[in-house]
Amino acid sequence: MRILITGGGGFLGTRLAQALAARDPAVKITLLDVAFPNAPDPRFTALTGDLASPEVLARALPADTDSVFPLAAVVSGGAEADFDLDYHVNLDGTRELLEACRRLAKPPKVVYASSVAAFGGKLPDVLDDSTTPTPQTSYGTQKVIGEYLVADFTRKGMIDGRSLRLPTIVVRPGKPNLAASSFASSIIREPLAGVAVECPVPDTTGVWILSPKRVVEAFMHAHDLPSSAWPSSRVVNLPGITLTVREMLDAMGRVAGAETPKLVSFVPDARIQAIVKTWPVRFRTDRAIEMGFKADTDFEDVVRQHQS
């Protein structure tokens, strides 16, 4: 099997590649990104270049490619700050990637990373699979367009696509990124390392959360499901758990000690708050659960995962 992961230099792309290789050591994996902050695993082919370039994609997608995981994106906060760049990567890059998939020897499986940023505006208290996407950010808008492109290319028989709307992924390792949700990892990651950190939103702010372990499992599960498992819709809201910032800090305190949450101070950031307040925090994900996707059991386990 030959697989392409765009955004392969990021932590999710790296973890997904490692999990796929652990399951099948014979798999051939190409990682494509604009840069690789860390040296790529020598088992994989690493390519750098413009993710919307047909020439770059032609190198990344040999004719016998079986599967593609489009994970690359200019994330929410960065997308709002640079309109031209985020449309180039998030929309043009997705369209060019799907066009490149059309030219492969057979329609590949495409597992597209979407986001709960697809929702916004006036929403019900609890969202479900029938809730209409109404994005309130450029990032969310581009993700919804990507979902429709994946569905339409699938309808035409050009790919076998499936899209996953990801909750906020916590705890992300490494340095904070430009995502408006970056605080949700920082308020756990930094205190666990003994470092003080500022939180830009109130402690009453709710977050819909999934751990890195569970999201990698979700990508692999979505890939392995047959096309017949996606009869009515090619997109699914992944299950997660809803927590306020205060509940997250309290859970960290129970795992790492009562002094740890005291390293978090609250410094309001109006720009971040304006983005985050548009995101939904409660979902009923009956369809995803019926399809075999899983949420984390509790946030204390998520904290322990990061410590391990």
- Nearest C-alpha neighbor of 206 from the set 228, 184, 178, 239: 184
What is the 3-state composition of the chain as percent helix, strand, coil, each rounded to the nearest 5?
45, 20, 40
- Nearest C-alpha neighbor of 98 from the set 111, 86, 87: 111
- Nearest C-alpha neighbor of 215 from the set 69, 39, 31: 69
Alpha carbon distance 174, 153 (integer Å) = 35
For residue 103, the Cα-to-chain-centroid distance in whole angstroms is 26
Whether residue 71 contacts residue 5, with contact meaning beta carbons closer than 8 Å, is answered with yes
Q: What is the CA radius of gyration of the chain?
A: 19
- Asked if the bond preceding 116 is cis, omega within 30° of 0, the reply is no
| Residue ranges of E strands in 226-294 | 235-237, 241-244, 264-266
Contacts of 152 (CB under 8 A, 6+ apart): none
- Nearest C-alpha neighbor of 187 from the set 73, 299, 72: 299
Is 139 catalytic? The answer is yes
| Residue ranges of E strands in 89-225 | 109-115, 160-166, 168-169, 197-199, 206-210
Q: Which residues are catalytic?
A: 139
